[in-house]
A and B are shown apart, each in its own frame.
Chain A
Amino acid sequence: MGSLQKYYKQSATYKIFTGIFSELENFLDTLGAITINGVDTAKFIIKGQIDLKEVCTQCYRFGITSLPITLSIVGMTSVIVASQVALEMVKQGGSNFVGLLMTILIVREVGVIMSGFAIISMIGSSLASEIATMRVTEQIDAIEVLKVNPIKYLFVPRVLAGIFMMPPIVIIASAFGVITGAITAKLTSGLSFMAFFDSAWLGIYMKDLGVCLLKAIFFGATIALTSCSCGYYAKGGAKGVGEATTKAVVWSFVAIVIWDMIFAIAFFF
């Protein structure tokens, strides 16, 4: 019986299923941790237990330091899309719709999702590695021993910064994206700014702007919460910090794409 069990444990089937269940366990652990931390963070916010000074510090970090990279990514994406479609549309007689198409695309999707990706790579990774380093150097243990709640001290200001800063970042980045789209259309197809902006407003409604801002709020909270949570449960030394950072980036990417899909189904299906 013993040797049969040993043989069975060495088999490829056993290893594949053990691997799958282990990954599933890790997935559920992480999802559970993010949910629990999210609920605890929300409780502190609802009770008004907020350190405004720390929120301002995190807002500066979230918003100001990430703005150049966010504008670059959204702007370049807009240039890529406009250079692909503007000339073709003008050739096919659709010059009246170039501005419309670009604006819908940027306001509804490109502005918010590309800003989200930029924030994840710049701020999410930084939050995760910061908190993971605090974990592995026992700084979070020290916070607990000093009877301060680490969720209140670490999560609340960062999640609030995500909620407050993501909408203005998305508005600025989207406006920048529309402008770079107009410039690209003019350079590639000769479409005038007047023709571009005349049609730009036609397909944009208050609902689009509202959904865009709502998405920004959800993305900001999700990125901050996911990154903090992945860092919070880091184990080991430098390797643990690296793993936590990678996990934060991957989970945040997946999470905001899922949110985006939910919003698309809920509002535009």
Chain B
Amino acid sequence: MSIEVKNLIKTFDEKRVIDNVSFKVEDGETLAIVGFSGSGKSTILKLICGLLNSDSGEIITSEGDIAMVFQYSALFDSLNVSDNISFALHERKDLRNKYSEKEIRNIVSEKLELVGLKGIENKFPSELSGGMQKRVSFARAIVTEPKIILYDEPTAGLDPISSTLIEDYIVRLKEETQAASIVVTHQMSTIKRTANRVIMLYEGKIVYEGTPEDMLMQNNEYTKQFVTASLEGPMHIISEN
């Protein structure tokens, strides 16, 4: 077991965003969390990585680092690619004196090579395309050899080819690191290409749990509506109250 979420509840301004959610993700497994915007997907990631505290419930993670790839990359504008990737190695208390500058340079090149971007160490985030920024944020996330990787809409806003490239890197990183991964996404291609299992959230509750293949079979009313992008179905984007 690498991530276990038990009876998680999170409320914002009296609205229950996460309502008694439980699931597990094993090492080397990728779980996709899908659902409409505002269904609580990103909140779950923020609860797992400690950016938010839950109202009740339990999150048990195996020992080791948790990495997160943010929706809009969240690279540090004022630092170049190399400094972005080596940020934790320079600034984190337990890692600061662990590596020499030469070793850090080697680690940065190795991680950049892993995401197919060797040789851009001195560029700044503003000089990179959206897809390249996303890949640099992958490199930054895996620099501490995390046991858990969380992806918040990794292919949002990218063209189909860049999305495919990012999806391939998600699979590759999972194979190389054997980390437990959670991918929050809306995109069917990302679900199909990266996930071993899928859970679907609606109004903070899990309304479907299964494999991507089963989801596409459309046996569930919720997944059917999601896959066919229909306005008709049990899910309503505009809240009645």
**Residues of A that sit less than 8 Å from B by CB:** 51, 133-134, 137-139, 141-148, 153
Contacts and interface: CB of A to CB of B under 8 A. Distances in A.
B151 to A, nearest CB: 12
Contacts of B51: 141, 144-145
A51 B93 CA distance: 12
Interface string B43-60: 000100111000000000
B76 A146 contact: no
Q: 10 closest Cβ contacts across the A-B interface?
A: A138-B74, A142-B74, A146-B88, A148-B91, A145-B68, A138-B70, A139-B74, A145-B49, A141-B51, A147-B92
A146 B51 CA distance: 11
Contacts of B70: 138, 141-142
Interface in B93-151: 140, 144
18 contacts: A51-B91, A134-B77, A138-B70, A139-B74, A139-B75, A141-B51, A141-B68, A141-B74, A142-B76, A144-B50, A145-B51, A145-B66, A145-B68, A146-B91, A146-B92, A146-B144, A147-B92, A148-B87
Counting chain B CB atoms within 10 Å of each CB, the highest count among A133, A134, A138, A144 belongs to A138
Nearest to A147: B92
A142 B75 CA distance: 8
A45 B84 CA distance: 25
A16 to B, nearest CB: 23
Given A138-B72, A142-B70, 13 more contacts: A138-B74, A139-B75, A141-B68, A141-B74, A144-B50, A145-B49, A145-B51, A145-B67, A146-B88, A146-B140, A148-B87, A148-B88, A148-B91
B42 to A, nearest CB: 10
Interface of B: 46, 49-51, 65-68, 70-72, 74-77, 87-88, 91-92, 140, 144
Contact of A146 (B71, B72, B77, B87): B87
A163 to B, nearest CB: 22
A210 B68 CA distance: 50
Contacts of A133: 77
Contact of A148 (B71, B75, B92): B92
Contact of B76 (A139, A144, A147): A139
Contacts of A143: 87
Contacts of A141: 46, 51, 68, 70, 74
A140 to B, nearest CB: 9
Nearest to A139: B74
A153 B91 contact: yes
Nearest to B68: A145
A126 to B, nearest CB: 12
A141 B92 CA distance: 15
Nearest to A152: B91
Nearest to A49: B93
Contacts of A148: 87-88, 91-92
A147 to B, nearest CB: 5
Nearest to B45: A145
A148 B74 CA distance: 15
Contacts of A139: 74-77
Nearest to A133: B77
A32 B52 CA distance: 20
Counting chain B CB atoms within 10 Å of each CB, the highest count among A146, A147, A153 belongs to A146
A158 to B, nearest CB: 13
A51 B88 CA distance: 14
Contacts of A138: 70-72, 74
A143 B88 CA distance: 8
Contacts of A134: 76-77
A143 B77 CA distance: 13
Contact of B72 (A137, A145, A147): A137
Contacts of B67: 145
